[in-house]
């Protein structure tokens, strides 16, 4: 089962990649999103990189 943070991270990364929010999310769909990034660790690394890039743009 995915944690709330995993679901949010998967949604944000999907939004960044596809320019739209994912629809009809359920546990299986969240797992598919995570698998698309390779693993939870890779997904978290991607989120950290995005946050760092956004911070640099704001500074």
| pTM of the complete model beyond 0.95 | no
Residue 54 reports pLDDT greater than 80: no
- Whole-angstrom Cα distance, residue 38 to residue 35? 5
> DSSP assignment of 1-59, as one string?
---HHHHHHHHHHHHHHHSS---S--HHHHHHHHHHTSSHHHHHHHHHHHHHHHHHHH-
Instruction: For residue 2, name the pLDDT band (cuts at 50, 70, 90).
Output: low
| Domain boundaries, given as residue ranges, for the chain | 3-57
């Amino acid at each position: 089962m995915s944690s709330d943070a995993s679901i949010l991270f998967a949604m944000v990364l999907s939004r960044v990649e596809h320019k739209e929010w994912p629809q009809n999310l359920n546990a299986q769909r969240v797992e598919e999103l995570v698998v698309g990034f390779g693993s939870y660790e890779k997904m978290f690394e991607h989120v950290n990189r995005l946050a760092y890039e956004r911070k640099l743009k704001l500074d």
